[in-house]
Amino acid sequence: MSRFLIKRPLPHGGRLVERVVRDPERAKKMIKGCPTYDIQPTLHYETGVPVRNVYREIMSICYGFFSPVEGSMCQAEVERILKERRLLNEWIFPYPLVFDISKEDYKKLGVGSGDRLVLNLKGKPFAILDIEEVWEISDTEELAHKTFGTPEDNPEVVRERFNKKHPGWVIYKSLNPIVLAGKYTIINEPVFRPPFDRFWYPPRKAREEFDKRGWRTVINHQTRNVPHVGHEFLMKNAAFTGDLEPCHGILVNAIIGVKRRGDYPDEAICEGHEAVNTGGYIKNSRHLPTICLWDMRYGNPLESLLHGIIRQNMGCTHHMFGRDHAAVGEYYDKWSTQILWNEGIPSFGFDAPPTDVPYGLEIRPQNMREFSFCPTCKEMAYSETCGHEREKLSGSFLRGMVAQGVQPPSIIMRPEVFKVVVKWWKHFGYPFCNEKYVINKEKELEVDLKDL
In a domain, 451, yes or no: no
pLDDT tens for the chain, 452 residues: list them. Answer: 577 899 999 999 999 999 999 999 999 999 999 999 999 999 999 999 999 999 999 999 999 999 999 999 999 999 999 999 999 999 999 999 999 999 999 999 999 999 999 999 999 999 999 999 999 999 999 999 999 999 999 999 999 999 999 999 999 999 999 999 999 999 999 999 999 999 999 999 999 999 999 999 999 999 999 999 989 988 998 899 988 899 999 999 999 999 988 899 999 999 999 999 999 999 999 999 999 999 999 999 999 999 999 999 999 999 999 888 999 999 999 999 999 999 999 999 999 999 999 999 999 999 887 777 788 887 788 888 888 876 666 667 778 888 888 899 888 899 999 999 999 999 999 899 988 898 899 999 999 999 99
DSSP for 130-181 reads EEEEEEE-S-HHHHHHHHH--TTT-TTTB-S---TTSHHHHHHHT--SEEEE
User: Does residue 342 form part of some domain?
Assistant: yes
Please report whether residue 243 resides in a domain.
yes
Residue 346's pLDDT is what?
98
Q: What pLDDT does residue 388 have?
A: 84
Residues 421 and 440 both lie in one domain = yes
Task: Please tell me the predicted confidence (pLDDT) of residue 392.
Answer: 64
Contact 331, 160 (CB under 8 A): yes
Residue 133 buriedness (CB in 10 A; 0-12 / 13-18 / 19+): middle
The number of distinct structural domains making up the chain is 2
Same domain, 165 and 301: no
One domain for residues 158 and 305: no
Distances (CA, A) of 236 to 131, 169, 201, 225: 46, 34, 22, 17
242 contacts: CB under 8 Å, gap ≥ 6: 6, 217, 219, 248, 317, 318
In sign, the C-alpha dihedral spanning 293, 295, 301, 302 is negative
| Dihedrals phi, psi of 171, to nearest 5 degrees | -60, -50
Final residue in a domain of this structure, among 191, 226, 261:
191
146 lies in the same domain as 202: no
Q: In angstroms, rounded to a whole number, what is the distance separating the alpha carbons of residues 287 and 220? A: 10
The verdict on 90 and 185 lying in the same domain is yes
pTM of the model: 0.96
pLDDT of residue 391: 65
Please tell me whether residues 399 and 261 are part of one structural domain.
Answer: yes
pLDDT of residue 324: 87
Domain boundary among the residues 166, 191, 216 is at 191
> Is residue 135 included in any domain, yes or no?
yes
What is the predicted pLDDT for the residue at 261? 87
Considering the domain architecture, whether residues 59 and 115 belong to the same structural domain is answered as yes
Residues sharing a CB contact under 8 Å with residue 373, sequence separation 6 or more, in sequence order: 229, 379, 380, 381, 390, 391, 393, 411, 412
If asked whether residues 388 and 292 sit together in one domain, one would say: yes
Residue 422's domain comprises 196-444
Residue 452 lies in a domain: no
- The phi, psi pair for 411, rounded to 5°, reads -75, -15
Same domain, 204 and 352: yes
Helix axes 266-278, 415-428, angle to 10 degrees: 150
In a domain, 267, yes or no: yes
Q: Is residue 450 domain-resident?
A: no
In a domain, 74, yes or no: yes
CATH number for the domain that contains residue 84: 3.10.400.10
Give the pLDDT score at 393.
61
- pLDDT value for 1: 54
User: Are both 230 and 157 inside the same structural domain?
Assistant: no
Please report, for the domain that includes residue 227, its CATH number.
Answer: 3.40.50.620
Residues 150 and 229 in one domain: no
DSSP state of 284: G
Instruction: Please name which of 443, 440, 449, 441 lies closest in space to residue 127, comparing C-alpha atoms.
Output: 449
At which of 139, 161, 191 does a domain end? 191
| Amino acid identity for residue 75 in this structure | Q
158 and 202 assigned to the same domain: no
Please name the residues in contact with 41: beta carbons below 8 A apart, sequence gap of 6 or more: 50, 51, 52, 53, 442
